[in-house]
């Protein structure tokens, strides 16, 4: 629990927030309150620092992901979440992973590696965290992917194959698209909030 983080008590639903590059544990709190104002919030800080900016895992100079670094981040975050469940008495809560950009990719990696922990994931500006999905059962998991049609970090062709992989694994995927780039759409927030309710 020494990891920097933000926590707010709420309902039996807890939103686990994962910020984007250069942000911190407070960045997505207003977004979480728009998604579900009654939910509890648990938001850890990414501990990998790239050029002075917080991230959850390392990427190479060409922008590709260091998958070993992702695995390490998932392991450390799993330990943090397990400790937080005890510290904040969250056993039995519904957990939804919510992330933007680097945080969305981290949230997706957590769901793939720890699927029993989460009921759903909300991924903004995301792409697949791993080059391939290993055997994982995502039956019953709701996943929202909100990406811009002109997002250079998440090309539509890549998102299309990523959505297909998640569906093959059993997830119920909603792919929401807006006409912009690497940003979060207010309309997507409203739509996901309505569906969560």
Q: Catalytic pick from 19, 36, 126, 151?
A: 151
HEC string of the chain equals CCCCEEEECCCCEEEEEECCCCCCCCCCHHHHHHHCCCCEEEEECCCEEECCEEECCCECCCCCECHHHHHHHHHHHHHHHHHHHHHCCCCCCEEEEEEECHHHHHHHHHHHHCHHHCCEEEEECCCCCCCCCCCCCCCCCEEEEEEECCCCCCCHHHHHHHHHHHHHCCCEEEEEEECCCCCCCHHHHHHHHHHHC
Q: Catalytic pick from 5, 26, 182, 193?
A: 182
- Annotation marks residue 134 as catalytic: no
How far is the C-alpha of 163 from the C-alpha of 95, rounded, in Å?
Answer: 21
Q: Catalytic pick from 101, 126, 185, 188?
A: 101
- Annotation marks residue 101 as catalytic: yes
How far is the C-alpha of 132 from the C-alpha of 5, rounded, in Å?
Answer: 30
Which of 155, 138, 133, 148 shows the shortest CA–CA distance to 70?
Answer: 133
- Annotation marks residue 62 as catalytic: no
Active site residues: 101, 151, 182
């Amino acid at each position: 629990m020494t990891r920097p983080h933000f926590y707010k008590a709420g309902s039996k639903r807890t939103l686990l927030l994962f910020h984007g590059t250069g942000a911190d544990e407070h960045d997505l709190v207003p977004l979480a309150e728009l998604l579900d104002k009654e939910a509890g919030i648990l938001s850890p800080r990414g501990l990998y620092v790239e050029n002075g900016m917080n991230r959850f895992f390392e990427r190479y100079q060409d922008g590709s992901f260091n998958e070993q670094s992702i695995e390490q981040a998932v392991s450390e975050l799993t330990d943090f979440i397990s400790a937080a469940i005890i510290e904040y008495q969250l056993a039995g809560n519904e957990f939804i992973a919510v992330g933007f950009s680097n945080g969305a990719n981290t949230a997706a990696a957590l769901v793939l590696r720890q699927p029993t922990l989460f009921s759903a994931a909300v991924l903004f500006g995301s792409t697949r965290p791993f080059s391939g999905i290993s055997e994982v059962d995502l039956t019953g998991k709701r996943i929202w992917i909100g990406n811009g049609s002109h997002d250079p970090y998440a090309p539509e062709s890549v998102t299309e194959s990523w959505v297909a992989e998640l569906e093959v694994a059993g997830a119920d995927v909603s792919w929401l698209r807006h006409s912009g780039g690497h940003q979060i759409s207010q309309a997507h927030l409203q739509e996901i909030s309505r569906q969560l309710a």
